[in-house]
Amino acid sequence: MKKILDHGYVELIETWGSDERIIEAARMSVDKGFISWEPYDKHPRGDLGLLSHLWNNKHATPFEMAGLVIEVKAPLFVFREWHRHRTQSYNEMSARYIPLPDENYLPTLDRCLTGANTPTANKQAQGKGGLMYETAHLWLKELDALYDHAQQVYERGIEFGIPKELARLPVPVARYSRMRASANLRNWLAFLTLRDHPAAQEEIRVYAQAVSELIAEHFPRTHALFEEGRQS
């Protein structure tokens, strides 16, 4: 399990397939299987040459023969971005049935200042003029107080007997929730292309980087080709 942000995490549940299974799937068309990662016959790169050919020429189907399932704890606004990737399968905890934990994402002061008045700021992060330390500190205090008030209204709704599906209305988009996500390797790499990218919002990018580390651990050759392609 890798800790993310102030209360979140990414945890591997299971994987299926491997770099070798990808090769075997590709060779079904010629009734052969995986041979070796070492050089053989007229193949100086071994089966890595085939894996590279598949990836570089977008023969993507064999990469659907492997994948992973993860559990994620993240703020709701991160999940709203994540769920745009419709090639993944999700199941998220529901505030209709259980109370959401009283945990909200509170950005660090450095996070608030980063991008507000720096040359690397994206358009969405730019403020009017320079964002000062004192201003950001005051805003964070107000945000934390807002979280406390929202929790009180939420808990009173439950206490008064308001249906949970309505009592949750005060819950902010910064509230942490949990989900499981499943996808094949092809679609996880598509996710990384968009979310582990300098243009992605930092809060989802750190989760994508954790997913990238899992893929590198369990599918090292495919991940290396993916990174090589991004840098070329």
Active-site residues, by number, are: 195
In sign, the C-alpha dihedral spanning 205, 177, 102, 168 is positive
Burial class from Cβ neighbours inside 10 Å (0-12, 13-18, 19+) for residue 142 reads exposed
Q: How is residue 112 written in tokens?
A: 């608030």
CA atoms within 13 A on the CB side of 99: 13
| Residue of 195, 194, 197, 188 whose CA lies nearest to 216 | 188
Q: Nearest 5 degrees, angle CA 84-CA 88-CA 92?
A: 80
CA distance linking residue 47 with residue 39, whole number of Å: 8
Those residues with Cβ within 8 angstroms of residue 216's Cβ, 6 or more apart along the chain or in another chain: 223, 224
| Residue of 103, 111, 112, 116 whose CA lies nearest to 144 | 103
SS3 per-residue string spanning 119-166: CCCCCCCCCCCCCCHHHHHHHHHHHHHHHHHHHHHHHHHHHHCCCHHH
In sign, the C-alpha dihedral spanning 106, 111, 116, 122 is negative
